[in-house]
Structure 1
Amino acid sequence: MEKNTSPAKSGISFGVLFGVLMVLEFVIMYVIGMKSLANTSVGLIISIANYLVLPILFIYLGCTNYKKNLNNGFISLGECLKIGISIVFVAALIYAIFNAFFNLIFPEFINETLSIIKEAMLAKKPDMTNEQLDKVLSMQRKFMNPFIVFPATLAMYSFFGLIYSLIIGAIVKNENPQSS
């Protein structure tokens, strides 16, 4: 049997789909209004979905698609790693690029976000001094810099993708006895 598609390339379409889904979530949250959602559990649910549920789902779908449709029912742990990391890397790349452009097009977004963070911090710790608050907000502003967000997003999603791919690979792997 001759392979036509590499494991990493087979995962790219799932990565694009995952990335577009994260961008749509972001846009919907922005349109609805971050301020109205600030004191709700929606942000937590979206974070859990983006960092846990969706990566696991898309990695599983990518691995089983490769196994069933492209590799005659066989997949190794290494192939699962290639597929999983490619899926989350492509998704993170799409999301990071969108985020960078979004912040260029809507520079007020960072100030709105910092305002929401400030209100939430003051609600949790009303006795916080202005100096402490300014220190935290300046640190938050630094971490919103595209030169920090872009590589951090790629690294973080790739790390999670590695972990999830190992777990999913251990579950779905089916080594080809003829490949040894």
Structure 2
Amino acid sequence: MEKKTTTTKSASKSSIQFGFIFGLIMILEFVIGYVLNIDPQSNKVYGLIINLLNFLVLPLTFIYLACDNYKTKINSGFISFNECLKIGVSVCVIAGLIYGLFSATFAYIFPEYFEEMFRKMRTIMAQENSKLTSEQIDMTISFSKKFMNPAISIPTTVVMYAFFGLIYSLIIGAIVKKDANQSF
């Protein structure tokens, strides 16, 4: 029983460490885009790269690193599928929470950034889809603004990253799992 408690604490230590790094990298991407005034809506390549990084490459990488760290450095070369799921979802939840809190704080400190983003969004929507009426564009933007509310955006971000963490953990868990009772 004592071993199980120590193992759980070590798994959470690995999750917190890699989830924190993952969250900081997402914040750094956002800050670099802000400082360099790169708009992901008008610069489609930048937006695609950021989305690929944040929703595919970074989660897979950090879930793998956290599971591998736990397996090799903490648990004597063993990791169960269940532990991979716990670690992977925890990494993504922590990263999503850190990024969600940062984004909400940023929106509070620099509301003009998001107002400018909505103005650009209005222009792009009008240019790319001439069938939309002004009322439809206003409704879309007001809906987007509602999702900027921290009471909605933070939980949504956390749940979204938890979902991705679960899916990626299933894949990574199938690859890296090695139960203590396996023999080759």
TMscore range, shorter length: over 0.9
Letter in 2 for 1:76: S
Where in structure 1 are there 5+ consecutive unaligned residues?
none
Separation in 2 of the partners of 1:72 and 1:28? Answer: 39
Q: Which residue of 41, 45, 52 corresponds with 2:49? A: 45
Identity between Structure 1 and Structure 2 (%)? 51
Calculate the TM-score normalised by the size of structure 2: 0.90
Q: How many Å apart are 1:154 and its aligned residue?
A: 0.5
Report what 2:102 is aligned to. Answer: 98
SS at match of 1:128: coil
Asked if 1:58 is matched to 2:62, the reply is yes
Deviations 1:2-23 (A, max 9, x none): 4454322321100000000000
The aligned length equals: 178
- Go from structure 1 to structure 2 and tell me whether the alpha carbon gap of 1:168 and 1:141 turns closer, same or farther (over 3 Å shift): same
Report what 2:128 is aligned to. Answer: 124
**Range with greater deviation from structure 2 (102-111 or 14-23):** 102-111
Q: Which residue of 161, 164, 181 corresponds with 1:177? A: 181
8 Å contact kept, 2:41–2:121: no
- Go from structure 1 to structure 2 and tell me whether the alpha carbon gap of 1:155 and 1:37 turns closer, same or farther (over 3 Å shift): closer
8 Å contact kept, 1:96–1:153: yes
Report what 1:85 is aligned to. Answer: 89
Q: How many Å apart are 1:42 and its aligned residue?
A: 0.5
TM alignment of 1:20-35, pairs within 5 A: 20-35=24-39
Where in structure 2 are there 5+ consecutive unaligned residues?
none
- Go from structure 1 to structure 2 and tell me whether the alpha carbon gap of 1:37 and 1:152 turns closer, same or farther (over 3 Å shift): closer
Separation in 1 of the partners of 2:44 and 2:56? Answer: 19
8 Å contact kept, 2:16–2:94: yes
- Go from structure 1 to structure 2 and tell me whether the alpha carbon gap of 1:45 and 1:35 turns closer, same or farther (over 3 Å shift): closer
Separation in 1 of the partners of 2:18 and 2:39? Answer: 32
Report what 2:148 is aligned to. Answer: 144
**Range with greater deviation from structure 2 (124-133 or 18-27):** 124-133
8 Å contact kept, 1:35–1:116: no
Asked if 1:19 is matched to 2:23, the reply is yes
RMSD: 1.8
Separation in 2 of the partners of 1:58 and 1:137? Answer: 34
Separation in 1 of the partners of 2:181 and 2:43? Answer: 54
